[in-house]
Structure 1
Amino acid sequence: MRPEPGATRRFFREAIARALREEMRRDPSLLLLGQDIGAFGGPYRDFEGLLAEFGAARVRDTPVAEAAMVGLGVGAAAAGARALVAITYMDFLMPALDPLVNYAAKLRFKTAGQLAAPVVVKTTAGAKGQGVAHSQCLEAWLMNVPGLAVVAPSSPGDAYGLLKTALRAPGPVVFVDHKRLFPLSGPVPDEEATIPFGVAAIRRPGRDVTLATYGWMTHPTLAAAAALADEGISAEVVELRSLAPLDIGTLAGSAARTGALVTVEEGQLPCGIGAEIAFRVRESVPALAVARVGARPVPVSSNPALEAAALPDAPRIAAAARRLLRPSAGETA
């Protein structure tokens, strides 16, 4: 597939490295902290070439100590620099929640706007054969924190644009990518471009049901929409891109047109992103029919068969839409 005019096809990791390179050239105060991001180029090669250009003073390998890493990044940002801290697995963001939640997200509130912490925590979520402690999607936890922005791209182009916006943001941002996105390629604008937070994208128009999702789950959701189209069901796919802030306007507009909403996430359903979306959209569209699809309530196994059984996929998403639109069919998701 040829990219559109004005864009070049790049891998997901290349889009991230390009955004970092451009922003480091633009802002000499920007520091990178992470495990193996220097000579190795990052666990997913998304920092490749940055050490050679910017040196070890700005591209810093760290010990395996997530609380210290984020604490250093937040402190540097509060002191006048900018920082990006790379956490290889989202599961291990948990030790670092204290400096991120209790200090960075609250700093401008505590100081009446006199101080801020322009730090980006880039972390990789999701399951890909690595077991119970390396497979979780904890985005819903982070959406609960006032003062913290959370974004999650699904494509190289969006990764590039959202990361550039994150690196210019006045306060802390968590940038969530997914292990399964790194082998993907897609068009990235040739000219510098940013994507604003809080703006969802309609990836496939439809008239019968709205499928709302984000990140890697955008891809199986689009596959589900294609399968439903073969059965005469027209599904509109809305990709959130930004989780905090949420673009409720686009979601509510789509749901008002279709009258049915299915939310899709790889994380757990209780207190999840789908629950938040469903309630807030129903405030605007009271008669809306709603269903949620997420991970089964079990830890994600490293066994391939058990991992697949725990996670949402295109057939489960399509089944949820059918059940919502055709309750008499009795199909379960």
Structure 2
Amino acid sequence: MIRVLFADRAENWPRYKAPLAHALAQAGVRAEIVLPDAAAPDSIDYIVYSPMGPVQDFTPFTRAKAVLNLWAGVERVVGNKTLTQPLCRMVDDGLERGMVEYVTGHVLRYHLGLDATLAQQDGIWRHDDGVPPLARNRRVVMLGLGALGAACAQSLSGLGFDVTGWSRSPKQITGITCLDGAAGLRQALSHAEILVSLLPDTPETSNLLNAQTLALLPKGAAIINPGRGTLIDDAALLAALDAGQIGHATLDVFRVEPLPPAHPYWAHPRVTVTPHIAAESRAETAAQVVAENIRRSEAGEALLYLVDRARGY
């Protein structure tokens, strides 16, 4: 029987206990799930891991065959010098659908001008203000075409939006105009009426949206960032909002979380703050991903969603 260490925060164990045991049994894996301090590190075969959990030094886990991250992002662990075991990120259907719904909802909110409509309480009938264009005439740009970005892009394309995607490496997705490289980024930004950022956190993506790149967007563009807080130069975004270059920003992720009460984003009239709720791993579906990877490893098959350490994701 193999031993699986659940190395997440203690308060998350009750919601993972039954789904993880069920998923392992359904996958045909005979396993004992143990908690930190309940077993010697050198007896552990797999680590189910959260960056907020108690395990930060992987050196004692000499028998571990893989570290299975419960988060989609791996930036908090990929650079850990003690991590020599294979690392797998979480690609979870529940997490993906949550992100698709968040992004689609906020794109439609901007597209339809719902903020202004819902704020209209003065009794004035403003039919002459016009109607929004059809989705096919609204240009949406997706920065990042990984599993989450591609799913969001396809959802928006299915609604009729004119969707362009940009990624660091070339991609091909049916119905999406895919660009890459520095020239492709400039081209994508130059016509992004609504910009969605779902890039990973790497040295190459840090402050990708800065004073220079924000200036490339059409005046009044809207930004949605449920990706990583480090993608945006906060001072540059605030300046662009104040100048009217950016019409509004909906931000779900930040460099410091929780976002400090005194941060300018909270009070800015052109910023919507959401508390990192766009997508979260669901215990039932995440457990299935973990169990499948353990099954594959025990069967000598390739692990799913293996992280490329050099690229950082």
TM over 0.5: no
Tell me which of the two structures has the higher relative contact order, counting C-alpha pairs closer than 8 angstroms and 6 or more residues apart. Answer: 2
Question: TM-score, structure 1 length as denominator?
Answer: 0.28
As a proportion of its length, which structure holds more helix? 1
Q: Which protein has the larger Cα radius of gyration, Structure 1 or Structure 2?
A: 2
As a proportion of its length, which structure holds more strand? 1
